[in-house]
Amino acid sequence: MTNPAALVERYIASWNETDPAKRRELIAATFTESASYGDPMMKSDGHGGIDCMMAAAQERFAGLRFKQVGRIDAYEDRVRFSWELGPDGGPSVAGGTDFATVNTGRLAHVVGFLDFAPAA
């Protein structure tokens, strides 16, 4: 894995990008074409599914932004990192840890675990 920090940075930027065209560009640069994502709240496959999922999360959590927290761990084709969601400069309302498999410098499979989240 060449640069896990840059990959995670693009991943977080994808979640935060509200312009649909720019978000799709980030998704293409960050995820393999057949990538999958799953966490306790949602699942998606492929660039189109991931784009729809991210757009839905942005709608539900309008005005909030994701940020990477803590250190990034990488080993061979695996990466682990934590994130939080909240308003700029305010307290986080959700957070978790994601584990991913990397293929050719892009995310192939992401599994997210929620450490804390708002009630449904």
Q: What is the mean pLDDT of the chain?
A: 95
Structure tokens at 18: 């509200």
Q: Is 108 helix (H, G, I), strand (E, B) or coil?
A: strand
DSSP sequence for 69-105: EEEEEEETTEEEEEEEEE-TTS--SEEEEEEEEEETT
pTM of the model: 0.94
Cβ distance 84 to 94 under 8 Å? yes
What dotted CATH number matches 4-116?
3.10.450.50
The confidence band for 120, taking pLDDT boundaries of 50, 70 and 90, is low
Predicted confidence at residue 100, as pLDDT, reads 98
Q: Is the pLDDT reported for residue 1 higher than 70? A: no
In tens, the pLDDT along 58-99 reads 999 999 999 999 999 999 999 999 999 999 989 999 999 999
Q: List own/partner pairs for 89-94 with CB under 8 A and 24 or more apart.
A: 93/61, 93/64, 93/117, 93/118, 94/61, 94/118
* Percent share of the chain, pLDDT over 90: 92
